[in-house]
Amino acid sequence: MSIGDNIKKWRELHNLTQSDLAELLGISDKTVSSWEINRTEPKIGMVEKICIALNCKKTDIVGADEPTSFLREDSPSYGVTSRGYERLLYFYKALNKIGQKEAIKRIEELACIEKYTEDHLRPQTAHNADADDPEQQRLMQEDLDEPE
């Protein structure tokens, strides 16, 4: 199967629309569509982001015929079991568009706090529209200072 076919298969396994996946990746839904119809292919850095978003391995996207790793509880999926991923997705889909944007913002914030992340996945910075607000700075600093 092609990379585009695998992206589509994994996206559909997670009951995501092209727009849902695009939003998770910070790209346009037209880009996702372009991959899925095999017009273009994502760069390797984007493949890594796709794998995180779809809770799969790179080989599931670039080379495996049958996606199976997200179905196993013991899969090396960055600590997220298929049940955990499904719960996260369930609650995310229950939110309206404003709530979904807020949820993504909060996850980005959590991803920058050492005690909540895997070293190899921690972003260097996160975008926070309220980062100049002294109260938000205080709260973020409290999160960073919390003992484990």
Per-residue DSSP letters for 19-55?
Answer: HHHHHHHTS-HHHHHHHHTTSS---HHHHHHHHHHHT
Helix, strand or coil, per DSSP, at residue 93: helix
Which is higher by pLDDT, 137 or 130? Answer: 137
Mean pLDDT of the chain: 76
Domains and CATH numbers, the chain: 1-92 (1.10.260.40), 95-148 (no CATH)
Phi, psi of 103 (to 5 degrees): -60, -45
Q: At what angle do helices 97-110 and 82-94 cross, to 10 degrees?
A: 140
Is residue 75 predicted with pLDDT exceeding 60? Answer: no
CA distance 44 to 58: 9
pLDDT tens digits, one per residue of 31-64: 999 999 999 999 888 998 999 999 888 888 987 4
Phi first, then psi: give them for residue 94, nearest 5 degrees: -75, -15
Contacts of 62 (CB under 8 A, 6+ apart): 3, 6, 47
Q: What is the pLDDT of residues 81-117, one digit of tens each?
A: 566 777 777 788 888 888 888 888 888 788 777 777 7
Please tell me the distance from the alpha carbon of residue 141 to that of residue 120, in angstroms, as a whole number: 22
